[in-house]
Amino acid sequence: MMANNIQDIRTDFPILDREIDGTELVYLDNAATTQTPESVYEVFETYYREYNSNIHRGIHTLSHEASVAYEEAHDRLAQFIGAEGREELVFTKNTTESINLVAYGLGLRNLGPDDTIVTTEMEHHASLVTWQQIAELTGATIQFIRVTDDGHLDMEHANELIGPETAVLSVTHVSNVLGTVNPVAELAELAHDHDAYVVVDGAQSVPTRPVDVEEMDADFLAFSGHKMAGPTGIGCLYGKRRLLEEMDPFLYGGEMITHVTFDRSVWNDPPWKFEAGTPPIAEGIALAEAADYLDDIGMDRVREHEDRLAQYLLERLEARDDVTVYGPPSGEQRAGLVSFNVDGVHGHDMSSLLNDRGIAVRAGDHCTQPLHERLDIPGSVRASFYVYNTTDDIETLLDAIDDANAKRDAYLRSERYHDAIY
Ligand code: PMP
């Protein structure tokens, strides 16, 4: 499919025409932030040109138009992940805020020293640090499902850990370092057998594959707009309607109430109960356009495209003896990202050498320090793909890695020469 119309897709993203010091940009940092198609920022611009206004507070035309568009954006995002409607979809700032909302609204209020929070060794700090903090504040115990050497969750260990004391299972759907696609439906079933709440970090899955909250039976699902062709400053928290109705708010103020007296306040219905103050209106409306853009391509096709590129890079890197690749090997189900290290070249040096060739990748611990500790490495280089990337991009990356190796060899030779002379 996409091989036929990838050039059309690329023209939707004018930033891809940029040059970095005279070299064409090759953008392979999509797991951090994806680029935005023109249609999305046109929606943004139309909002500011034609109906910029605060929502829900005015009966004038602009406010009405903004309110309707913002409310409908909730429905659109709910539909994108198979939820019922706006009542189940809260707009937040990003995945991090979505997870914090559940952790504070539900975890902090309900957990105690007899409870256990089960999570995994491959969590992003957005989830790991947050639940660690809730454990500290409530006296609950936090436990981590082990990651196997080939980058999967150890399901035997998951079965051992998830039990009657488990109050929360928080798991990432797709690892932002290993590319592993976790069996979230199976884990959710295990957790629900013990009446635990299931929180899924969908930051890397919602943008890259079809995700259906009913199929996976998640109680909560968090994701970010800026990783799915949408703007920054907007994220989503899906929650089952009953749970959002029961859950306490996290932020207090205007819009999240129906009635206030000097003595007490009555909360609004979800999702507004969780959206205190003026929300990211333009961002929410533009994110709905991003969902349209992705659905026009088809999320099955997005997944196939990502998978094809990941396999292409994996096979080439695995064929080299100077590269270590992390996560499941080629041939297995993977998301469109590959983390690796090249012998003798520090990740930051590699990233900088690649930048000299116009290639944007990310190096470091990718907000997963405990996972890197588990892998016994200080960091890794990550190349990650989206709908506009091609196998040519990967060839450019591989050439640049060769170039970096040549520089390393020349450097080592000069060191030896230096040692021999002095
Ligand atoms: N979880 C995962 C798996 C991620 O990859 C990221 C972003 N790197 C986050 C959470 C946090 O997303 P945000 O910074 O948008 O809150």
Task: Extract the tokens encoding 287.
Answer: 């994110």
Question: 3-class DSSP state for residue 341?
Answer: strand
Q: What is the pLDDT of residues 58-69, one digit of tens each?
A: 789 999 999 999
What is the CA(30)–ligand 1 centre distance, in A? 12
Q: Output the CA torsion sign for 345, 348, 353, 354.
A: positive
Residue 236 annotated in active site: no
Select from 70, 45, 44 the least CA-distant residue to 55.
70
Q: What is the pLDDT of residues 261-283, one digit of tens each?
A: 999 999 999 999 999 999 999 99
The atom number, within ligand 1, closest to the CA of 175 reads 3
Q: How many beta carbons lie within 10 A of that of residue 301, not counting itself?
A: 14
How far is 79 from 73, CA to CA, in rounded Å?
10
How far is 343 from 408, CA to CA, in rounded Å?
10
Are the CB atoms for 145 and 108 separated by under 8 Å?
Answer: no
What is the residue with the minimal CA distance to atom 12 of ligand 1? 95
The atom number, within ligand 1, closest to the CA of 95 reads 16
How far is 33 from 228, CA to CA, in rounded Å?
8
pLDDT averaged over the chain? 95
Whether residue 217 is predicted with pLDDT greater than 60 in this model: the reply is yes
Whether residue 1 is predicted with pLDDT greater than 50 in this model: the reply is no
Instruction: Give yes or no for residue 337 CB within 6 A of ligand 1.
Output: no
What is the predicted pLDDT for the residue at 421?
A: 52
Q: What is the mean pLDDT of residues 290-319?
A: 97
What is the CA(180)–ligand 1 centre distance, in A? 15
Q: Which amino acid does the sequence have at 395? A: E
> How far does the chain reach from its first CA to its final CA, in angstroms?
60
pTM here? Answer: 0.95
Phi, psi of 24 (to 5 degrees): -60, 135
What is the predicted pLDDT for the residue at 414?
A: 77
What is the predicted pLDDT for the residue at 403?
A: 87
Instruction: Give yes or no for residue 36 CB within 6 A of ligand 1.
Output: no
The atom number, within ligand 1, closest to the CA of 367 reads 8
Query: What CA–CA distances, in Å, run from 352 to 33, 98, 180, 366, 400?
Result: 18, 33, 27, 16, 11
Active-site option among 367, 377, 395, 398: 367
What is the predicted pLDDT for the residue at 56?
A: 81
What is the CA(95)–ligand 1 centre distance, in A? 6
What is the predicted pLDDT for the residue at 419?
A: 61
Q: What is the pLDDT of residues 120-173, one digit of tens each?
A: 999 999 999 999 999 999 999 999 999 999 999 999 999 999 999 999 999 999
Give the lowest-confidence range in 312-316, 344-348, 359-363.
Answer: 344-348
**362-364 β-sheet, strand order:** 323-326, 337-342, 380-384, 362-364
DSSP, res 103: I
Q: What is the pLDDT of residues 242-260, one digit of tens each?
A: 999 999 999 999 999 999 9
Q: What is the mean pLDDT of residues 68-88?
A: 97
What is the predicted pLDDT for the residue at 418?
A: 58
Q: What is the pLDDT of residues 86-119, one digit of tens each?
A: 999 999 999 999 999 999 999 999 999 999 999 9
Element (H, E) at 199: strand 197-201
What is the CA(126)–ligand 1 centre distance, in A? 6
How far is 188 from 162, CA to CA, in rounded Å?
10
Grade residue 415 by pLDDT with cuts at 50, 70 and 90.
low
